[in-house]
Structure 1
Amino acid sequence: MLTLNSTEFQIPLAHITLAAKRYGKIDKPIILALHGWLDNVDSFIPLADEFEQQGILNTFQLICIDWPGHGLSDHRPGRYPLHWVDYIYDLHAVIQAISVENQPIILIGHSLGGIVASAYNACMGENVAKLILIEALAPLFESAQHAKNRLRKGLLQQQGFNRQLARPTPTYSSIDVAVQARHQLTGLALPWCELITQRNMQLVDDKCAWRSDPRLKLDSLNRFTFEQVDGLMSCSDTRTLFIAAQDGYKQLTQTEHHANTWFSDIKMVTLAGDHHLHMGNAKQVAETIGAFILK
């Protein structure tokens, strides 16, 4: 990995300030990268290095943002539960803030970032030049019969969370303990766990503590039904690339066969790797993206 030079900067929005990294020259057309749940901008370091290797950054700049509550971005104020649809509002505000003369930008989204990107493109496609979805295709959905139990579970979980806030912040003797914990929980390779974890942690009294918003681990209070997702997603004419991993999330098979209904112009590719294949198989992912956006 080249550890390509990047520029850290902030994006002050009306409702929150987000941290971001830029790779490449500021005067180039924008590729905006959106990371997954509990990740941060550094999950795109391997892909950014490959973009440089393959000359993609001669044509584009890559901007990666930390979602609220992740990495170095602000947390949402208050103690109310988080809702995934709020990320769509964040994305719209970011695009308005960084786009030059309202020019459409290329969106790359991994996992949660892909879910948000697909939903945003569905309703604001005029702002998206091309869409690249990695291990995500559309918002998650479930049967309406789960609505009551999901809401009840979420409220009880929030109640317990409020009690938890009264306790001291959990700390670790070293970052290695947190890296191992994430590795054991997710199965993500240790080098990638370390890369992501470093930005999501901070020092508290000479010990390591999570910087991430603890509310991120709470379940959603509601989820779309398939009818809602289908109504939202049908039908986009944005040129779209969907990259799945051979050993990725099997839940994607629930939505893959709807792809040609939801997107009029979509290329679907499966590459070697797990859910974070844009890290572990960055070279092939970058080659696939390069072939798609440099046409």
Structure 2
Amino acid sequence: MTCSVEEIRLSLPHIELAAHLFGPPDGQPVIALHGWLDNANSFARLAPRLEGLRILAVDMAGHGHSGHRPAGAGYGLPDYAHDVLQVAAQMGWGTFSLLGHSLGAIVSVIVAGAMPQRVRRLALIDGLIPPLGEPESAAERMGTALQGQLAQSGKRKPVYADMDRAVEARMKGAVAVSREAAELLAQRGLMPVPGGYTWRSDSRLTLASPIRLTRAQAMSFVNAVQCPAQLIVAEEGMLAQNKALLASVPFQVSQLPGGHHLHLNDEAGARSVADCFNRFFAVP
């Protein structure tokens, strides 16, 4: 399925981000946030199927065609939340809805919980809260993260001889995706370098997080959400087995067939996710 999409640049006070803009100018404003190491093409199949929405699918900082954070800066959840609010300000959207997948869903919950007066609706795909930590391991985690940061300058990203090899590597990544999904992500995620191609994403995105929220802290954001919210859980994804967590979520929860990238892997998955979200956004 195809529809017109506009490529735009967002010159924020602290960074420049790239984005795709879908839908009618008078549609409901929606900021769409992709998953870790993905890009705005994560929504290439889903966004054209969503009705009556003005969707801004952002390349999150350090991903796709967006800028990388300056030396010494990081990619923490508060940083991404700040980016979202700056994006909304540039678009002139005092209030808006959020559509998030995986990491993008986590950031969406953070924003909606911390700034509930700004968010109209919350649409989540196989993502809810970040990986959790325990208070007693905080010092050890911080030390490990700092060591990783110190060693990062000597690391180089892999170079693939051709785009097909890069696509195959993405198919077998930490979260496997279909070939078609990998090709869509590669269209926006690869860049030519001497010897072939490498990913545009900032290598610092692979660093361990220096601080993790406890379960109580993470759930405080979930419980602070005031807008209507729907969570789609992929049957073969990351959340399906965490039944205790899902039972505690005060959102509308729907489980659909497919893997973690069910909205991107194939047309059937995109259609099933769109059917759910079209009903969700149509409710007054």
8 Å contact kept, 1:84–1:220: no
Q: Which residue of 2 aligns with 1:160?
A: 151
1:161 Cα offset (Å): 1.2
1:110 Cα offset (Å): 0.5
Stretches of structure 1 that go unaligned for 5 or more consecutive residues are 261-265
Distance, in Å, in 1 between the alignment partners of 2:242 and 2:57 is 24
Select the residue among 250, 255, 264 that pairs with 2:245: 255
What is the letter of the counterpart of residue 17 of structure 1? E
1:29 Cα offset (Å): 2.4
Q: Which residue of 2 aligns with 1:110?
A: 101
Distance, in Å, in 1 between the alignment partners of 2:25 and 2:40 is 18
8 Å contact kept, 2:109–2:225: no
Of the structure 1 ranges 22-31 and 128-137, higher mean CA displacement relative to structure 2 is found in 22-31
Corresponding position: 1:199 with 2:188: yes
Identity percentage over the alignment? 32
What is the letter of the counterpart of residue 85 of structure 1? P
8 Å contact kept, 1:119–1:139: no
Q: Which residue of 2 aligns with 1:267?
A: 252
Q: Which residue of 1 aligns with 2:17?
A: 18
Distance, in Å, in 1 between the alignment partners of 2:254 and 2:221 is 23
Corresponding position: 1:175 with 2:175: no
Q: Which residue of 2 aligns with 1:82?
A: 75
The superposition leaves residues 115-164 of structure 1 with CA deviations (integer Å, 9 ceiling, x where unpaired) of 00001100111111111111112333221122122111111222221222
What is the letter of the counterpart of residue 177 of structure 1? R
Q: 1:181 to 1:216 in 2, by over 3 A?
A: same
Corresponding position: 1:184 with 2:184: no
Corresponding position: 1:240 with 2:239: no
Q: 1:164 to 1:139 in 2, by over 3 A?
A: closer
8 Å contact kept, 1:138–1:255: no
Q: Which residue of 1 aligns with 2:203?
A: 214
Q: Which residue of 2 aligns with 1:263?
A: none
Distance, in Å, in 2 between the alignment partners of 1:205 and 1:162 is 20
Distance, in Å, in 1 between the alignment partners of 2:162 and 2:16 is 29
How many residue pairs get aligned? The number is 278
Distance, in Å, in 2 between the alignment partners of 1:122 and 1:128 is 9
Corresponding position: 1:99 with 2:89: no
RMSD: 1.7
Distance, in Å, in 2 between the alignment partners of 1:205 and 1:159 is 26
8 Å contact kept, 2:23–2:54: yes
TM-score (norm. length: structure 2): 0.92
Q: Report the secondary structure of 1:234's partner residue.
A: helix
What is the letter of the counterpart of residue 160 of structure 1? A
Q: Which residue of 2 aligns with 1:137?
A: 128
Q: Which residue of 2 aligns with 1:65?
A: 58
Matches for 1:20-39 after TM superposition, within 5 Å: 20-39=19-38
Q: Report the secondary structure of 1:227's partner residue.
A: helix
8 Å contact kept, 2:116–2:224: no
8 Å contact kept, 1:135–1:252: no
Stretches of structure 2 that go unaligned for 5 or more consecutive residues are none
The superposition leaves residues 194-227 of structure 1 with CA deviations (integer Å, 9 ceiling, x where unpaired) of 1102211111236212211011111111101122
8 Å contact kept, 2:8–2:20: yes
Corresponding position: 1:121 with 2:117: no
8 Å contact kept, 1:33–1:107: yes
Q: 1:164 to 1:235 in 2, by over 3 A?
A: closer
Distance, in Å, in 1 between the alignment partners of 2:181 and 2:220 is 36
Q: Report the secondary structure of 2:186's partner residue.
A: helix
Corresponding position: 1:286 with 2:274: yes
Q: Report the secondary structure of 2:17's partner residue.
A: strand
What is the letter of the counterpart of residue 63 of structure 1? L
Q: Report the secondary structure of 2:115's partner residue.
A: helix
8 Å contact kept, 1:131–1:241: yes
